[in-house]
Amino acid sequence: MTKEFFSVTPVETVFEHISGFSPTHAETIDIADAAGRVLAAEITADMDLPGFDRSTMDGYAVRAADTFGASEGNPAYLEIIGSIAMGETPDIAVRAGRAARIATGGMLPPGSDAVVMIEHTSELDETTIEVYRRVAPGAHVITKDEDFRKDEHILSPGRRLMTSEIGVIAAMGQSNVSVFKKPVVGIISTGDEVVPADTKPEAGCIRDINTHTLTAAIHGCGGIPRSYGIVADRFDELFHIVQKVLEESDIVILSGGSSVGTRDLTIEVIEALGDALILAHGLPVRPGKPTILATCGSKILWGLPGHVASAMVIFDVFVRPCIRQVGGDGEPMREKHALFATLTRNIASAQGRIDYVRVRVEEQDGAYLARPVLGPSGLIRPMLEADGLIRIGMNTEGLLKGTEVRVIPFAT
Amino acid sequence: MTKEFFSVTPVETVFEHISGFSPTHAETIDIADAAGRVLAAEITADMDLPGFDRSTMDGYAVRAADTFGASEGNPAYLEIIGSIAMGETPDIAVRAGRAARIATGGMLPPGSDAVVMIEHTSELDETTIEVYRRVAPGAHVITKDEDFRKDEHILSPGRRLMTSEIGVIAAMGQSNVSVFKKPVVGIISTGDEVVPADTKPEAGCIRDINTHTLTAAIHGCGGIPRSYGIVADRFDELFHIVQKVLEESDIVILSGGSSVGTRDLTIEVIEALGDALILAHGLPVRPGKPTILATCGSKILWGLPGHVASAMVIFDVFVRPCIRQVGGDGEPMREKHALFATLTRNIASAQGRIDYVRVRVEEQDGAYLARPVLGPSGLIRPMLEADGLIRIGMNTEGLLKGTEVRVIPFAT
């Protein structure tokens, strides 16, 4: 059992390996399907935006100079020369002493340089308005290239497309967009004690949970999960399936193997693959010390702990950034905005390893408390109660109650 | 133009209306597709979990009493009677003075009540170990119902299923799960100046952005977006399409109508529908004052401002909770964890309305700054720069630089 006492790989080294993985190829998709995808080509402005001087209010297009000095007590009087139709180039010009009705979004007619809000005017009759406020040139107007200038760089490859980015791409006239293909992530569950979730386990067996949590988590970070079922702890069987999954996936996740025997088997299978390179076998973290990271040609393999709670911590900290990296994300390690919170109790740790502790976040008096969700590592229930993780660094023996901590909220 | 000066509906009233909307029906789906869906039926434990006394470490199953007094200098000696195979009911019993090899996840054999970690033992020969530490009864063991007890309530309808919930459902033996159907949300873009995004706009026209941002945002909160294209500002045309979309959707969003004329048309069309009930026509908020909320039988209609930036604020604040409510979410108004941040500049507001201001969140010295992203309301660029919204309440004239604010991060 000497293989138990493997040496560990610093987490910085693991992140360096992850940063070096190549992204998938690009594909072109409809922007209707692009939410959450990663941009693979630069977006530039195909035209000035909005493309014309545009009113931002309902009111009257005027020459600003005609309103100078106007007030409630001393209004300016302007002649109405017509209305600007939406979506059309005005066929009227605004000369001194005149005004044209204009709606929000309308194109300013020639001669005008500002808009007076309707609330600051009164129509005396069909042809005359009183103006009660002075406006400066440019008031309530967006100029033709104020938003974006033709050929201006707007978005870079690697940007994850959210609502705003998709709006901007539409504004640039693209109904299709080049994005990185979603990485295909194959999932293999191992362990003689693991049975499919929809069966009734015999005594001593447990249902396969990792396949299902991993499926959801892979979906959540932009991968395509593919489950290959449960494989017994036998070399030939596992070797055969790993070869198959490597061919069909960008990334392979082996989960299970919480016992030494299974862990040994997993690493033996990986070592037996033709061009396998083991980058990490054992990490200085808790939970998840037995984690394996390897490559096989251009493919990536992860060996995760068998306990679902441990496997999910390793997924959150390492595998999610890896899937994002392969998915072309320009900031694969970027976390959601952390929450600053006050720890509600002491937590012991050990020097020389990083501890990831699940916490529940509670709001109190306009600040957050981080309440550790503890319990034996084999339990599932704490997963339901936690909102995120805190990290206790290598060189500390723990954190005291009252310490300010960063909580990384769970992504999904 | 007197219709411009409509009265406004308090936002609390709008939220009350939203809370009263009925959810969709339930459907049964594979748990592989359940991430992000909303549970429609209670989940209870179908069995004790883990179902047997289970080791959480690699080591030896022992009688704890046999280790009492054991130490490095004075180890206990135990006879090895065999190994526990994974996934099987042990056929050996541990009597006093004996131990059985056990791996993480293995089932404790009869007679044993604790596990000694392998690190705290040494095998002298094939049949004898030295134990260097005492263990208490129950050490490194999860008892058979420690995680969940048979028939225990675990998850309630209305819960959004994330990774952990899906793991727990799998653990309960369900490969299918009852969830609320995703609400179908029809999108109609209006405005004579609006042209499809993939065309080159004539002067005075702008590309349709709202359809695309709304599509992404609806996806992001669990709805099924369906675009019905751009409709010109003509009563008959709009009336016809609204009737059609109402038949085919749970919720209808009319976007556009930033000009008074289009707004008037939208409300006239809604009023002309058979059993339409206008719940709000004008909200005391900025941006988004001209927002409309109506029902037509069991269907819901939203009229959003034409400016994409304004439309997205109203979507974030009101429409997303509405889609969640109809999607069965038990906490439809629940926001992501707000970030507490310090405002970097003064922001003016007006009493009697709620202002929603886009901010960029920056971390500095272990705390957040909220930097308002300002600019004319018609610009798109600020959307790309912002991370979330802050809310300035009804009864304040603005916020001073240095004020602590809550930032609601954007959901997608």
- Segment-wise mean pLDDT, segments of 10 residues, chain B, 412 residues: 61 97 98 97 96 94 97 96 92 96 94 96 96 96 96 97 96 97 97 92 94 97 97 94 97 81 85 94 92 97 92 96 98 90 96 95 94 87 94 93 95 68
CA A43/CA A169 separation, integer angstroms = 7
Backbone angle region of B151, left / alpha / beta, with phi > 0 → left and psi within -120 to 50 → alpha: left
Per-residue tokens: A160: 């994850």
Q: B121-125 and B128-131 as β-strands: parallel, antiparallel, unpaired?
A: antiparallel
A90: nearest CA partner in chain B: B204
Return phi, psi of residue B326, to 5°.
-65, -25
Q: Tokens 């790993």 correspond to what residue?
A: A242
Q: What is the pLDDT of residue A323?
A: 98
User: Quick check: B85 and A192 CB within 8 A?
Assistant: yes
CA A37/CA A57 separation, integer angstroms = 35
A367: nearest CA partner in chain B: B340
Mean pLDDT, residues A95-101 taken together? 97
Q: Is any Cβ of chain B less than 8 angstroms from the Cβ of A306?
A: yes
Q: What is residue B328's DSSP assignment?
A: T
Per-residue tokens: A373: 């969700």
Per-residue tokens: A262: 């299974």
Per-residue tokens: B158: 């209305």
Q: What is the pLDDT of residue A257?
A: 61
- In this predicted structure, the answer to whether residue A4 has a pLDDT above a threshold of 50 is no
Q: What is the pLDDT of residue B334?
A: 87
Nearest to B378 among A142, A336, A339 (CB): A142
Per-residue tokens: B411: 């959901």
A161: nearest CA partner in chain B: B412
Q: What is the pLDDT of residue A252?
A: 98
Q: Is any Cβ of chain A less than 8 angstroms from the Cβ of B186?
A: no
Q: What is the pLDDT of residue B168?
A: 96
Q: What is the pLDDT of residue A263?
A: 73
From B340, B347, B354, B339, select the one nearest B401 (Cα to Cα): B347
Q: How far is it between the farthest Cα atoms of chain A?
A: 98
- In this predicted structure, the answer to whether residue A76 has a pLDDT above a threshold of 70 is yes
Per-residue tokens: A32: 């209707």
Q: Is any Cβ of chain A less than 8 angstroms from the Cβ of B239?
A: no
A200: nearest CA partner in chain B: B173
**Which tens digit of pLDDT belongs to each residue from A341-358?**
999 999 999 999 999 999
Q: What is the pLDDT of residue B4?
A: 41
CA distances for A66 relative to A29, A78, A92, angstroms: 51, 8, 18
Nearest to A1 among B118, B173, B367 (CB): B118
User: Quick check: A215 and B166 CB within 8 A?
Assistant: yes
Cβ atoms within 10 Å, residue A236: 8
User: Quick check: A225 and B104 CB within 8 A?
Assistant: no
**Which tens digit of pLDDT belongs to each residue from A128-146?**
999 999 999 999 999 999 9
Nearest to A166 among B155, B164, B212 (CB): B212
Q: Which residues of A touch B51 (CB under 8 A)?
A: 201, 203, 206
Residues above pLDDT 70, as percent of chain A: 97
B35: nearest CA partner in chain A: A216
Nearest to B209 among A54, A170, A261 (CB): A170
CA A48/CA A172 separation, integer angstroms = 9
The minimum CA-CA distance between B107 and chain A, rounded to whole Å, is: 5
> Residue A225: beta bridge partners?
A185
Q: Is any Cβ of chain B less than 8 angstroms from the Cβ of A164?
A: yes
- In this predicted structure, the answer to whether residue A319 has a pLDDT above a threshold of 70 is yes
Q: Is any Cβ of chain A less than 8 angstroms from the Cβ of B22?
A: no
Q: What is the pLDDT of residue A6?
A: 56
Radius of gyration, CA atoms only, chain B:
31
- The interface pTM score, or ipTM, of the predicted complex is 0.94
Q: Which residues of B touch A34 (CB under 8 A)?
A: 216
User: Quick check: A32 and B337 CB within 8 A?
Assistant: no
pLDDT band at A274 (very low <50, low <70, confident <90, very high): confident
CATH numbers and ranges of domains, chain B: 2-25+182-326 (3.40.980.10), 33-48+148-180 (3.90.105.10), 54-142 (2.170.190.11), 339-409 (2.40.340.10)
Nearest to B197 among A175, A200, A337 (CB): A175
User: Quick check: B163 and A217 CB within 8 A?
Assistant: yes
Q: What is the pLDDT of residue B1?
A: 34
B209: nearest CA partner in chain A: A167
Q: What is the pLDDT of residue B2?
A: 36
Length of chain A in terms of residues written: 412
Q: What is the pLDDT of residue A133?
A: 96
Label residue A123 exposed, middle or buried (CB < 10 Å: 0-12, 13-18, 19+).
middle
- In this predicted structure, the answer to whether residue A5 has a pLDDT above a threshold of 50 is no
Residues above pLDDT 90, as percent of chain A: 86
